[in-house]
């Protein structure tokens, strides 16, 4: 039976790499897939991995009817054996409903990839709807690590290395951004609660207050 499967994890845990691997494995068997993405770091209409792999995709903007797009592709004589959706957390809830309809009415497997919560630890609407509708939820087993070495479970937004907890829910950035830009860092819950990023931890370690003092 076809399924709607939601693969989730923090940033930097290999979601896009797995999406590209599924595409490779299935296309190698002669199957043809349709790939959607939204706000990928490589630019519009791209699905990219931090390992350097990239492929073309359909940009799933807020006005795109995903079910209608697949139906139109099939009506033109195109072949669609499965659907892959990366950055699914950015989709509207109604677009997730459309993915479920692709599975139920067109009998196609849909593999969705995304992070569950934003930098404030609040569910993205797309991820929430996927949790509500998916036939299967899969947590990626490649664990991202906090700067302290613990398993990273939360996504933090940073500006100049400092963690911020206010702002729009969707601001595109990456874990590799320079310190002066809006970027993201994965943290364990303890350090997310304390708003302690790798930069602030280094600053604290170098503070004169914690350095040994030698009498002259």
Which residue has tokens 């002066």? 180
For residue 15, what pLDDT is reported?
Answer: 84
148-177 mean pLDDT: 78
Of the chain, the percentage scoring pLDDT greater than 90 comes to 49
Catalytic residue annotation: 87
Average of per-residue pLDDT across 120-136? 95
List pLDDT tens digits, range 4-47: 999 998 777 778 888 889 999 999 999 999 999 998 776 778 88
Q: What is the mean pLDDT of residues 98-113?
A: 98
- Mean of pLDDT over the chain: 86
Mean of pLDDT values over 104-110 = 98
pLDDT confidence tier of residue 50, bands split at 50, 70 and 90? low
pLDDT tens, 184-198?
Answer: 898 999 999 999 998
pLDDT at 177 over 60: no
Query: Helix 125-133 and helix 93-106: axis angle, to 10°?
Result: 30
For residue 103, name the pLDDT band (cuts at 50, 70, 90).
Answer: very high
How far is the C-alpha of 196 from the C-alpha of 130, rounded, in Å? 30
Q: 161 pLDDT exceeds 90?
A: no
pLDDT at 180 over 60: no
């Amino acid at each position: 039976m076809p399924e709607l499967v939601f693969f989730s994890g923090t940033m930097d845990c290999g979601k896009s790499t797995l999406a590209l691997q599924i595409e490779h494995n299935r296309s190698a068997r002669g199957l043809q897939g349709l790939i959607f993405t939204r706000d990928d770091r490589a630019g519009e209409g791209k699905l990219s991995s931090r390992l350097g792999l990239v492929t073309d995709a359909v940009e799933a903007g807020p006005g795109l009817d995903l079910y209608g797009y697949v139906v139109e592709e099939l009506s033109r004589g195109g072949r669609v054996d499965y659907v892959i959706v990366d950055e699914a957390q950015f989709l509207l809830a109604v677009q997730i409903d459309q993915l479920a309809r692709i599975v139920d009415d067109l009998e196609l497997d849909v593999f969705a990839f995304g992070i569950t919560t934003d930098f404030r630890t609040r569910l993205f609407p797309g991820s929430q709807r996927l949790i509500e509708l998916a036939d299967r939820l899969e947590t990626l087993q490649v664990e991202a690590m906090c700067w302290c070495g613990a398993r990273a479970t939360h996504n933090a937004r940073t500006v100049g290395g400092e963690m911020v907890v206010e702002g729009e829910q969707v601001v595109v950035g990456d874990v590799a951004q320079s310190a002066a830009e809006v970027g993201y860092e994965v943290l364990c819950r303890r350090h997310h609660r304390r708003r302690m990023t790798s930069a602030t931890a280094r600053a604290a370690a170098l503070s004169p207050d914690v350095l040994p003092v030698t009498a002259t």
